[in-house]
Amino acid sequence: MITTNMTRNRRAGTLLAALAATALTLSACGGDAEEAVENAADTAGSTSTAANQDGGHDGHSGHSHSHEGATGDPNATPANEIEGADLTEGTFNPLESAPAGTESVSGVAYVARHDEGTTVTIDVEGLQPEAAYMSHLHAQPCAEDDGGPHFRFDEKGSEKPPNEVHIAFTADADGAANTTVSNDNPNSEGAKSIVLHLDDEDGTKFACADL
Of residues 113 and 136, the one with the C-beta less far from Cu ion:
136
Helix axes 33-44, 5-29, angle to 10 degrees: 170
**Contact 133/168 with Cβ under 8 angstroms?**
yes
Min CB(62)–Cu ion separation in Å: 12
Of residues 113 and 152, the one with the C-beta less far from Cu ion:
152
Min CB(51)–Cu ion separation in Å: 18
Question: Binding mask 4-43 vs Cu ion (x if CB under 5 A, - otherwise)?
Answer: ----------------------------------------
Member of 11, 113, 136, 152 binding Cu ion (CB under 5 A) = 136
DSSP string, 44-101: HT-HHHHHHHTTTTSS-S-GGG--TTTB--TTSPPGGG-TT-EEEEEEEEE-TTPPTT
Min CB(169)–Cu ion separation in Å: 13
Cα separation, 35 vs 19, in Å, equals: 12
Residue 195 touching Cu ion (CB under 5 A): yes
Min CB(64)–Cu ion separation in Å: 8
Cα separation, 160 vs 150, in Å, equals: 10
Of residues 11 and 136, the one with the C-beta less far from Cu ion:
136
Phi-psi map region of 205: left, alpha, beta (phi>0 left; psi -120 to 50 alpha): beta
Residue 168 touching Cu ion (CB under 5 A): no
Min CB(7)–Cu ion separation in Å: 19
Residue 109 touching Cu ion (CB under 5 A): no
Phi-psi map region of 69: left, alpha, beta (phi>0 left; psi -120 to 50 alpha): left
Task: Using CB under 5 A, list all residues that contact Cu ion.
Answer: 136, 195
